Amino acid sequence: MTPAQVGQVETQYRTTVEGLLKGLPTVGEVVEQPTMITVPTDGVVYDPELAHCCALDPELEKAALIKIEREQAEAQKIGLELQLMALEVQRRQALLAAGTLTPFETTAAPTIVA
């Protein structure tokens, strides 16, 4: 619709539309507004370059891999210890069910040499 066709708008909205049209530039009027240009900072440019650089120090990479492997081994060790404790509970329950009321014998946990 053009501004001349405001009469076709429902009467309840007509005054609102006319008010909005008063704030708009007229046909043929030129409106100039400043153009904003965004320039990236050095951090935006350098960070991606360094993050994807293929010259990563091999020692740092190996240290990170060793750390991950050590954490995985520790998690596996904890899991095995939990399984061992569960088996000990089952063994003691079986002894109690069989009527053996003597003190439980604890076995020394195997030592792991690192």
**Into how many domains does the chain fold?**
1
Distance CA 24, CA 73 (A): 70
User: Is residue 30 situated within a structural domain?
Assistant: no
User: Is residue 3 situated within a structural domain?
Assistant: no
Q: Which domain holds residue 94?
A: 43-99
pLDDT tens for 50-87 read 555 555 677 788 888 999 999 999 999 999 999 999 99
Is the pLDDT at 3 greater than 80? The verdict is no
User: Is residue 104 situated within a structural domain?
Assistant: no
pTM of this prediction exceeds 0.85: no
What six digits make up the tokens of 111? 């030592």
DSSP states of 21-60: HHTSPPTT-----PPP-----HHHHHHHHHHT-S---HHH
